[in-house]
Structure 1
Amino acid sequence: MERAVSHAPTPMTAAGRLLAVLDAFAPGRSVLTLSEISRRAGLSLTTAHRLAGELVNWGALERDTDGRYRIGLHLLELAALAPRGLELRELAQPYLEDLFHSTRAHVHLAVRDGAEVVYVETLRARGAVTVLSRLGQRWPLHVTGTGLVLLAHAPREVQEDVLAGPLKRYTAKTVTDPTALRRILAEVRHTGIAVAEEQLTLEGVAIATPIRGAADDVIAALGLVVHVNEYEPRALVPVMSATARAISRALGAPSAHRNPGAVLGR
């Protein structure tokens, strides 16, 4: 989801200005000119040029031969140290690939960042329903299956902030009523399964379930996306739940070693 252009005043600190330059980049805006960085970061051209140069020297940005900028590899090196990012992705990868091959559905691994869901891995099936999500993509928590799982298990203050809205509508089926969303979250906590039918894209059904960490708290969500005409919960939910338990077990979650007795959702 592309972030809106910032019109906020120029950050007062040096660190804030550097972060504003990096935050100018987003999905669909991975390569920017200096003028675009200046405009999106709310900085003067002179300041943007100086800071971009510093970031290029450090390796956070790279500059093409035509003068345009892109994110540098040094940030990828640092991101690999994030336990909720690439480290989780690497541990889960073999299980995700098995799930992908057994279902031939789109597979998502996601974590929560504030009021948004962020995809740390996506495996996209050929010929399946069109999906908008990709690695690093962000969406509001209320519109995706993985987002609903993470919202259902988020701290109460996060839930109340999201429910207070506004809840953005993407399709005619997007749930934007706080009372209805509150009921959905309660059901997700009860069944362990979230279902988002055509909430983000028409014809797509997202199914998701929690992944737990060593403290048995929900640290991520595993999701599948299939065409609405191919949604078969009794075929998809057990294998997805088994995969989530296997990942949770690898993360040291105590509950993953117990017989789950999972409910097959709705």
Structure 2
Amino acid sequence: MRNVLNTLRVLEEVAARQPIGVGELSRMLGMPKSTVQRALLTLDEAGWIRPAEGEVKRWALTTKALAIGGRASGDLGLRDAARPIMEDLRRRTEETIHLTVPEEDKVVLIERLETSKPLRISMSLGHALPLHASANGKAVLAHSGADVLQRVIADELPRYTENTITDPDQMHAELERIRERGFAVNRGEWRTDVGSVAAAVVGPEKPIASLSVNIPVSRLTPESEALFGQAVSEAARTLAARLGYA
């Protein structure tokens, strides 16, 4: 049983940080490298992960994880409803558009439409993002129930970059700003080069998804934040209405 749990922990960490190598996984999980290596070889043989490109061996998810996730959560219907709205959002912003869904204490990328611009944000389907350090995650967190907020923001939050909000009081204030203006902004809080603006797709009781405009942080300005925020908020409301939510 311990080996199975270790393998699943390695799979979750690969999903959250891909591409990632044995050494980094060992440090993040507090496991011996030999244990991590055995888990990676098992996941590779089962078709869940694959070696990423590059001279140093690093690992990334395969599409098998996305396919299983889609069947488990019914995300395929959501993706079908969202795609034309995402197409319109990409046309309006000329940037990469992401659709994510909440899953436990993270959000998972289930659909993306890429910009034609040469400098872009590239992220594989099935990638998991932290709730407190991504625009999609913060948009979802801002509209989540008190039980979720208490669980996620109970203690000091994990730091990914120098811009990550780690103080619980600061995070609560950030979530209040998101609720007031209707969208969340990530200014290099998860990765220093990644900027994004996102809005939650809110169901009758909780957020069911989030849409985001994703750009290199160098293109994220106060002007673009406002424009993208308005566009993605309208798109999120349109998707909620299309799914039958007021």
TM superposition score normalised by structure 1 = 0.67
What is the aligned counterpart of 1:99 among 65, 89, 96? Answer: 89
Distance 1:246 1:203, change over 3 A: same
What is the aligned counterpart of 2:125 among 129, 135, 145? Answer: 135
Cα shift readout 1:95-117 (whole Å, capped 9, x = no counterpart): 11111122111211111112212
Matched to 2:243, the amino acid is L
Between the two proteins, the alignment pairs up a number of residues equal to: 221
Is residue 193–residue 209 contact of structure 1 (8 Å, CA) maintained in 2?
yes
Is residue 144–residue 206 contact of structure 2 (8 Å, CA) maintained in 1?
no
Specify the alignment match of 2:166 in structure 1. 176
1:240 is aligned to 2:240: no
Distance 1:84 1:168, change over 3 A: farther
- Higher mean Cα deviation, 164-173 or 125-134? 125-134
Matched to 1:239, the amino acid is A
What is the aligned counterpart of 1:161 among 135, 151, 154? Answer: 151
1:87 & 1:128 partners in 2: Cα distance?
31
Specify the alignment match of 1:225 in structure 2. 214
1:9 is aligned to 2:2: yes
Distance 1:10 1:92, change over 3 A: same
Is residue 201–residue 211 contact of structure 2 (8 Å, CA) maintained in 1?
yes
1:157 & 1:188 partners in 2: Cα distance?
19
Specify the alignment match of 1:33 in structure 2. none
Q: What value does the CA root-mean-square deviation take over the aligned residues?
A: 3.7
1:62 & 1:173 partners in 2: Cα distance?
30
Specify the alignment match of 1:122 in structure 2. 112
Percent same amino acid at aligned positions? 28
What is the aligned counterpart of 1:85 among 75, 79, 100? Answer: 75
Matched to 1:183, the amino acid is A
1:40 is aligned to 2:31: no
What SS does the aligned partner of 1:148 have?
A: helix
Q: Structure 1 residue 129: deviation in Å?
A: 5.2
Distance 1:142 1:84, change over 3 A: farther
What SS does the aligned partner of 2:230 have?
A: helix
Matched to 2:210, the amino acid is A
Matched to 2:236, the amino acid is A
Q: Structure 1 residue 25: deviation in Å?
A: 6.5
1:211 is aligned to 2:201: yes
Distance 1:41 1:209, change over 3 A: same
1:190 is aligned to 2:186: no
What SS does the aligned partner of 2:107 have?
A: strand
Matched to 1:155, the amino acid is G
Cα shift readout 1:12-55 (whole Å, capped 9, x = no counterpart): xxxx69967976964437xxxxxxxx943867x9xx6xx998x6
1:209 & 1:62 partners in 2: Cα distance?
30
Is residue 66–residue 126 contact of structure 2 (8 Å, CA) maintained in 1?
no
Listed as ranges, the gaps of 5+ residues in structure 2 are: 21-33, 51-59
Matched to 1:40, the amino acid is V
Distance 1:218 1:84, change over 3 A: farther
1:249 is aligned to 2:235: no
Q: Structure 1 residue 252: deviation in Å?
A: 0.3
Q: Looking at both structures, which has the greater relative contact order when contacts are Cα pairs under 8 Å and sequence separation is at least 6?
A: 2
What SS does the aligned partner of 1:143 have?
A: coil
Specify the alignment match of 1:28 in structure 2. 19
Listed as ranges, the gaps of 5+ residues in structure 1 are: 1-7, 30-37, 64-69, 255-266
Matched to 1:228, the amino acid is L
Q: Structure 1 residue 237: deviation in Å?
A: 2.5
What SS does the aligned partner of 1:220 have?
A: strand
